[in-house]
Amino acid sequence: MKKAWGKLSILAQYYSLSMFSFFLCWSILSLLNTEFINSLFFTMSFVWHFTLMTPGLKDKMLTKNQKFSFINVVVRINYYFQVFIKINKTPFGPAIVRAISPMLFTLFLMIVGGSGNAVFTLLGSVCFELTHYLLTNKCLSKITSTLPVDLEIPPEIPNAENFHE
């Protein structure tokens, strides 16, 4: 098993672990017979964190000119939250900062559309961060030692002259 796992790329390992944790959390949520809209807010928040923690995506979005990409907006908003909100000394400080943007998006949907559930958005954030922490640091530390962790300091955004080469 370790040989097959070692042959996978870092992204494939990350996707496998994250999808395993998603299906585990989704199955527990579906056993509770929640409403469909609540499941959507849970999934939105879980995938939001999954996207922010994808290895290499932050560097790619901040250094390439991706003007009209929603992923670019999500990554940049998280980047600015990490720059301006300094709670790195708390144990789960970066996870708390990552949870702000899906909560703001849910609040926006509640104001504009009239529907939204902040509890399931928060539950999706907590489930991703908890399963990601347990799978990478506690349970499978020998297998997942090659996975990069989210950096506390975001990468530098290049200036506009680099885009016009």
Alpha helices in the chain (DSSP H): 2-7, 10-31, 36-52, 57-63, 70-84, 93-113, 118-133
Q: What span, in angstroms and rounded, lies between the C-alpha atoms of 132 and 136? A: 6
- CB 100, CB 108: distance < 8 Å: no
Indicate the angle between helix axes 36-52 and 93-113, nearest 10 degrees: 140
pLDDT band at 138 (very low <50, low <70, confident <90, very high): low
pTM of the model: 0.75
- CB 125, CB 14: distance < 8 Å: no
Residue-wise pLDDT tens digits, 46-102: 988 888 888 887 777 877 776 677 888 888 888 888 888 877 677 777 888 888 888
